[in-house]
A and B are shown apart, each in its own frame.
Chain A
């Protein structure tokens, strides 16, 4: 009877449902607004960063347009600017860093999660994580005074001797890369009316490990970077490995798999998206790293055929030239910064989306 009456009443009265009214207390509302203001500042900062970079680089973008990013020239006296050499330097150093760091980081992560006793994993884990905390200028200092001499005296001469342009392996490398990249160059030549010469390409690529040994250069920067991104990749892959239930491994072992097979099947396969995310995050760190690279890359604004030769990255050219630049050079450097900002935004967004989607499963 009572219920029927209530049902009838609800037909005539307004719905008095309360939808999370929450802060009815005035001070609570003010508190929330104040906090929310702070929180929104973070978003505002990111937006402002983009807008200010755009403003700084506007003269260059207006003058050269998109061609700024594909032109290989940097000539302050003539006010001619193109960022290709720096993009090449950034991609080259980052690629070398990934090549060296990924197998190492994955191995270490596997060691920490699958093989090492807890006490050892703790110590090793601490040593690896500490690498992330070292200021990058210290890596740079170490790079100039310790790594570069070793590179110059030992590593680079050895590489030149083994893989240099005069050796058979150098010629094989040259042929391989030429075969690999010729189609690209050919298509490009149709657009740019720039003849793609197989001979020129071969000469370029066989010099991949060409001398002389400078000590500083793209390879040295790549090596330093590989150390710097190892903690990033290791710690994230380690977390990803840890999300895989112990039972999966045991199930594989129960089917007669060896320990390595169990790891490969149940751990590596299942965590592939997370590992890819981790590698991309490492790439993001490598692309933007400034000081260490600036100090060991050699700072030459050219594309050299040898990876041993000095080069320049997007971040390092800004660090080197910005304090003394003005007018169009200044805005060109800002444009390099804008490109770097956008690249790192895209890469980090992609990596986080991948890692997050992994978390959710």
Chain B
């Protein structure tokens, strides 16, 4: 087997909200075909961290970032870089399902492509179908593609949002606690999907749920107070952590 390629090389990321220093220089690599889970107590910076990877952090007024993130060898924070291109390559699924209001299911899934300028109906239809299939939603909605996306159930909405992200076909998919607003059955479905996605994508997932991290990820990074305390194979981190603070967290002694 060939050496796995580090698709994301994140180095020394610092992030601020106004004067509040929320990320204090964590560095991480994310490899092709892996699921990287980020765990840690609330407020540890893991959500901010994931939002620096597709440059969404800077959407918040007063936010600042420093450091480098290399995607496929190119620093996404270089001055000449167009964030639009970054986000085409690095997709994101959010905590709360957020289908676009007033858009049908079809329009929701095809939104990324359509609004990036792709118009051909046949091509869009093809991609919508394949994306919905990958998100395991096709069978449930194939007869109601023209119905509004906001009419679906919570779990279906989240899979719709996943399909919407997959339609753009980004090599990296970021997920910010994608199941925290869902019921257990929907959660199980999303987890199953994530494990399937590994075959084609790099997934970086923030989760509040350690069991979830243990179930679905290859590697896990433990965040505390804006720093990465430990980053290792999931199996090792959960059974034999090298840092005492990690051990305290995963055994439930704080956080």
Contact = CB atoms under 8 A, between A and B. Distances in A.
B64 A24 contact: no
B84 A22 contact: no
A21 B27 contact: no
A327 interface: no
Interface residues of B, number: 19
Contacts of A18: 58, 64-66, 77
Nearest to A3: B25
Interface string A2-29: 1100100000000111111110110010
The dominant DSSP class at the A interface is loop
B106 to A, nearest CB: 25
A20 B83 contact: no
B27 A17 contact: no
Contact of A22 (B14, B27, B58, B66): B58
A24 B66 contact: no
B63 A20 contact: yes
Given A24-B81, A24-B83, A25-B84, A17 B25 contact: no
Interface residues of A, number: 14
B84 A20 contact: no
Interface string B66-93: 1110000000010001111000000000
Given A2-B27, A6-B25, A22-B58, A16 B82 contact: no
A21 B67 CA distance: 15
Given A2-B27, A25-B82, A25-B83, A16 B63 contact: no
Interface string B132-165: 0000000000000000000000000000000000
Contacts of B77: 16, 18
B52 to A, nearest CB: 10
A20 B81 contact: no
Interface string A27-38: 010000000000
A16 B65 CA distance: 8
A6 to B, nearest CB: 5
Contact of A15 (B62, B66, B68): B66
Given A6-B25, A25-B82, A20 B66 contact: no
B65 A24 contact: no
Interface of A: 2-3, 6, 15-22, 24-25, 28
User: What 8 A-B pairs are tightest by C-beta distance, nearest first?
Assistant: A17-B66, A25-B84, A18-B65, A24-B83, A24-B82, A6-B12, A19-B64, A16-B66
Given A15-B66, A17-B64, A18-B65, 8 more contacts: A3-B25, A17-B14, A18-B66, A20-B58, A20-B63, A20-B64, A22-B58, A24-B83
Interface of B: 12, 14, 25, 27, 58-59, 61-68, 77, 81-84
11 contacts: A2-B27, A6-B25, A17-B14, A17-B65, A17-B66, A18-B58, A18-B65, A19-B64, A21-B58, A22-B58, A28-B84
